[in-house]
């Protein structure tokens, strides 16, 4: 078992644990940059490989692979340790990146993106779990601020590099650039991260892993592709949801009898873990709503460039790390629950501002609203995750972290489907023609986009309201906080 580091030595890149923190940041950068670098190069990529109608799968298959593999890698990390799992993830991401760069057709590229997503399913949760292992509760908020800053920087670096490679007609380097980053991250982790794991016999829940993978895969395909690749009412949707639901029921039955279940029932029976997991679902839904529709609304309604629209959204990723790094002072004094509730006030203000001004879009209002929402999410996502991590021992922390991040991915997937269905319906009704993102034309009707975006922003506000209600159900941890500080 890895002993938690509870000393109050300095936190930073120059501290004793600085090399590990830097390795975590570089590793997180792999996933963070990949999340933003591809979108700006899609037209160039499609021009060479063709199959325009398939390009949305480049993003869906990646999200699917990441979401399905996250709980599995999280469980395995509690068995064999974090280091081998994160190195496996980096290896899979590296192989996937090389194959993506060598892809000869759109179907091949989609298949290799799935491999990248599986690798990302190990990298993301393991980086956060390692931080939870080596830093105390008092230090983790500042560390999460460092990690969040990687996402903030990637929000600018990713689209810039993607656009540059697209202009140079070198889209394959979008994937090849991951090669040195993967090698650097792997070398830094091998050199800096040393863990001692208590080796004992384990009974791997193979059947549970297969059932979970199959059920989540089918359900997420149904959610992500409904009203995109096929109508909601179709035989494809019936198979995806019907068979996926049956496999999920079988998974639940198998897990009840498994000696070491992949997703233990106690994750959902403990009040703190259940509420923080549901809060994470809400965070994912709010995040994807803003990320998907703020830029396209500004571009279509105001005619601004993609760069300007992207910078307005980037205000969210600037506010997030600022509040995340400062959240430690709040939750050590006020407790996790009160900190999350304060964050939800900011989220409600930000999403409410977007919804109120959706009929008259403005770059300034959108940027301010995104910044306020980012401040709120930093006070919600980070403390709720740290609260969940702090409530369990080392051998359960991987599962808890993986479940929290998996819940966020589920929130994104479900929200994308619901927001997309509502937005496309209103877009067509307003005279926008084909659905958003369909057809050979990428021109979005500037008038029809307004009611569609307005509905999405109202939906994000409603998600924020529900998430705030769930957050009130978190147990009050102030007595435990005071006892810890007194000791």
pLDDT of residue 274: 94
- Pair (257, 271) in one structural domain: no
Is 4 a domain residue?
Answer: no
- Pair (145, 290) in one structural domain: no
- Pair (75, 151) in one structural domain: yes
- Pair (144, 293) in one structural domain: no
**Domain count of the chain?**
3
Question: What angle (nearest 5°) sits at the alpha carbon of residue 263, between those of residues 128 and 464?
Answer: 60
- Using CA atoms, how far apart are residues 115 and 117, in angstroms rounded to an integer? 5
Is 254 a domain residue?
Answer: yes
- Pair (276, 404) in one structural domain: yes
Residues near 136 by beta carbon (within 8 Å), at least 6 away in sequence: 4, 5, 6, 7, 8
Q: Residue 131's domain is classified under what CATH number?
A: 1.20.1250.20
Token pair 């105001």: residue: 302
- In 3D space, the residue among 196, 148, 170, 157 whose CA is nearest the CA of residue 28 turns out to be 148
Residues near 358 by beta carbon (within 8 Å), at least 6 away in sequence: 297, 450, 453, 454, 457, 458
* E strands, 3-93, in order: none
Task: Specify burial of residue 191 (Cβ count, 10 A radius: 0-12, 13-18, 19+).
Answer: exposed
Q: Do residues 422 and 318 touch, judged by C-beta distance below 8 A?
A: no
Is 199 a domain residue?
Answer: no
Q: Tell me which of 263, 282, 303 is where a domain ends.
A: 263
- Pair (352, 327) in one structural domain: yes
- Pair (26, 70) in one structural domain: yes
φ/ψ of 103, rounded to 5, equals -60, 140
Q: Tell me which of 222, 248, 263 is where a domain ends.
A: 263
- What spatial distance separates the first Cα and last Cα of the chain, rounded to whole Å? 24
- DSSP string of 162-196? HHHHHHTT-TTHHHHTHHHHHHHHHHHHHHH----
- Pair (129, 245) in one structural domain: no
- Pair (246, 291) in one structural domain: no
- Pair (23, 150) in one structural domain: yes
Range of the domain at 245: 206-263
pLDDT in tens, the chain (487 residues): 444 444 445 667 777 788 888 988 988 888 888 877 876 676 677 778 876 566 667 877 887 788 888 888 888 888 888 899 999 999 999 999 999 999 988 889 989 998 999 999 999 889 888 988 888 877 877 787 788 788 778 877 877 787 788 778 888 998 999 999 999 999 999 988 887 766 666 676 778 878 888 887 888 788 777 776 778 788 888 998 999 999 989 988 888 887 778 778 888 889 999 999 999 999 999 988 888 788 878 878 888 776 677 778 878 888 888 888 888 888 888 899 999 999 999 999 999 999 999 889 899 999 999 999 999 999 999 899 999 988 888 778 888 988 898 888 888 878 877 887 788 778 778 776 655 554 434 466 788 888 988 999 999 999 999 999 999 999 987 655 554 445 4
- Pair (354, 285) in one structural domain: yes
- Pair (83, 163) in one structural domain: yes
Q: At what angle do helices 271-302 and 449-472 cross, to 10 degrees?
A: 160
Is 467 a domain residue?
Answer: yes
Is 291 a domain residue?
Answer: yes
Is 118 a domain residue?
Answer: yes
């Amino acid at each position: 078992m890895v002993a938690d580091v509870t000393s109050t030595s300095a936190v930073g890149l120059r501290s004793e644990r600085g090399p590990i923190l830097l390795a975590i940041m570089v590793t997180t950068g792999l996933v963070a940059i990949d999340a933003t670098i591809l979108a700006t190069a899609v037209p160039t990529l499609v021009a060479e490989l063709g199959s325009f109608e398939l390009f949305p799968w480049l993003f869906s298959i990646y999200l699917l692979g990441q979401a399905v593999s996250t709980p599995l890698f999280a469980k395995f990390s509690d068995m064999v340790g974090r280091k081998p799992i994160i190195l496996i993830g980096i290896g899979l991401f590296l192989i996937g990146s090389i194959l993506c760069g060598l892809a000869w057709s759109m179907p091949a590229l989609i298949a290799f993106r799935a491999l990248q997503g599986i690798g990302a399913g190990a990298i993301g949760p393991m980086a956060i779990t390692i931080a939870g292992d080596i830093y105390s509760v008092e230090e983790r908020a500042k560390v999460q601020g460092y990690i969040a800053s990687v996402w903030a920087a990637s929000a600018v670096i990713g689209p810039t590099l993607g656009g540059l490679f697209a202009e140079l007609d070198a889209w394959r380097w979008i994937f090849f650039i991951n090669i040195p980053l993967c090698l650097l991250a792997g070398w830094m982790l091998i050199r800096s991260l040393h863990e001692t794991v208590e080796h004992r016999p384990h009974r791997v829940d193979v059947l549970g892993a297969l059932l979970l993978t199959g059920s989540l895969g089918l359900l997420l395909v149904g959610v992500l592709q409904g009203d995109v690749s096929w109508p909601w009412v179709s035989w494809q949707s019936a198979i995806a949801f019907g068979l996926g639901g049956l496999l999920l029921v079988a998974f639940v039955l198998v897990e009840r009898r498994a000696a070491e279940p992949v997703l233990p029932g106690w994750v959902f029976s403990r009040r703190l873990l259940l509420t923080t997991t549901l809060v994470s679902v809400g965070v994912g839904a709010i995040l994807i709503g803003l990320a998907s529709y703020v830029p396209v609304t500004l571009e279509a309604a105001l005619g601004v460039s993609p760069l300007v629209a992207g910078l307005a959204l980037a205000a969210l990723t600037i506010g997030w790390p600022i509040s995340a790094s400062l959240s430690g002072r709040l939750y050590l004094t006020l407790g996790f629950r009160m900190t999350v509730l304060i964050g939800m006030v900011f989220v409600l203000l930000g999403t409410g501002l977007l919804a109120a001004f959706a009929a008259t879009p403005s770059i300034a209002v959108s940027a301010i609203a995104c910044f306020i929402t980012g401040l709120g999410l930093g006070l919600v996502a980070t403390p709720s995750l740290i609260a969940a991590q702090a409530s369990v021992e080392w051998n359960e922390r991987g599962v808890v972290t993986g479940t929290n991040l998996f819940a966020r991915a589920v929130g994104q997937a479900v929200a994308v489907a619901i927001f997309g269905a509502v937005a496309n319906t209103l877009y067509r009704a307003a005279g926008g023609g084909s659905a958003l993102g369909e057809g050979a034309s990428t021109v979005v009707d500037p008038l029809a986009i307004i009611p569609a975006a307005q509905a999405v922003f109202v939906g994000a506000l409603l998600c924020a309201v529900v998430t705030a209600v769930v957050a009130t159900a978190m147990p009050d941890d102030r007595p435990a906080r005071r006892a810890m500080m007194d000791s």
